[in-house]
Amino acid sequence: MKLLVTLICLVIASIAFPQKHLEFGVFGGLSYYNGDLNPSGHLKTSNNHLAFGLVARKTLNPRWALRANALVGNLSAEDSHSSDPFQQHRNLSFFSRIYEISTVIEFNFQSFNPFNPPSAFKHADYFTPYAFIGLGGFYFDPKANLDGNTYNLQPLQTEGESYSKLGVAIPFGMGIKLRLSERALVSIEYGIRKTFTDYIDDVSSSYPTDPDALSQIARKLSDRSVKQQGAEGSNWGTQRGNSQTTDWYSFVGITLSFNVSTNPDQCHFKQDRL
């Protein structure tokens, strides 16, 4: 809640602050997921997917900037790619398109003004490392393949639980801004998203205790194990995921943005011709 109040105050402050510069740009890179099917692997080749999006950034001063993101990526993971015997026997998998809208506040570790041109009297601002944190919302829709068909997992309630396909995320990370010209900038960024759902992968807690309450397709998708690991020769009612942790996802990539504002320090006076 404190983070949300802070972001709202920053948005209000940016509206009242005399405009320094406003950028619009495009993002391209990778997206990947961490959760029950990929607990700790980062940037694994099998889990990486192309991602893209649009960004808008407004400078508040040489140290602070406010940025809005609209990003699209894909997430996936498979137990068969794990070296953990439990995951190999569980044999679950999922994939999902993810859509994110977010606002973040950026802090530049060095004073950075893209309008600052090189000259003999002052140093031009060519680059700066930066950190960011913010708040966002996202939409996901986990799916899985079975017998040559693709199924939406959320309506099937494979763990006997209902969950929303909308979520809240806290994006945070670090990057580097590089000035290409007075108008063009490049940002290289690694951003992680803390979420408050454990169902991006449709895996969270236990197999249902009553499989008869599920449809035939739901039962097959709930228990895809190659080996029953329950004490009574059945997985039903036993552990399926880790409900003590939530799922995460990340965007890693490059943003090319263009300044659309007028240099506030530049003299725009033109002498009339005689």
Tokens coding 241: 């995921």
- The overall average pLDDT reported for the chain is 88
Is 221 inside any structural domain? yes
Is 214 inside any structural domain? yes
Distance CA 263, CA 127 (A): 18
Average pLDDT over residues 46-53: 96
Is 272 inside any structural domain? no
147, pLDDT greater than 50: yes
16, pLDDT greater than 50: no
Q: Of 32-36, 107-111, 160-164, 178-182, which gets the smallest average pLDDT? A: 178-182
In this structure, are residues 69 and 27 in contact, taking their beta carbons and an 8 Å threshold?
Answer: yes
Is 124 inside any structural domain? yes
Is 253 inside any structural domain? yes
19, pLDDT greater than 70: no
Q: Which residue type is seen at 49?
A: H
Is 163 inside any structural domain? yes
Q: Could you tell me the residue range of the domain that residue 58 belongs to?
A: 2-20+27-259
- CATH number of the domain that 78 lies in? 2.40.160.20
pLDDT digits (tens, 9 = 90+) for 193-210: 999 999 999 999 999 999
Number of domains making up the chain: 1
Is 273 inside any structural domain? no
Distance CA 26, CA 30 (A): 14
In this structure, are residues 186 and 178 in contact, taking their beta carbons and an 8 Å threshold?
Answer: yes
The DSSP symbol for 79 reads G
10, pLDDT greater than 70: no
Is 266 inside any structural domain? no
111, pLDDT greater than 70: yes
pLDDT band at 116 (very low <50, low <70, confident <90, very high): low
Average pLDDT over residues 150-159: 97
In this structure, are residues 136 and 168 in contact, taking their beta carbons and an 8 Å threshold?
Answer: yes
pLDDT band at 15 (very low <50, low <70, confident <90, very high): very low
pLDDT digits (tens, 9 = 90+) for 218-273: 999 999 999 887 777 889 999 999 999 999 999 999 999 998 876 555 544 444 44
The DSSP symbol for 202 reads S
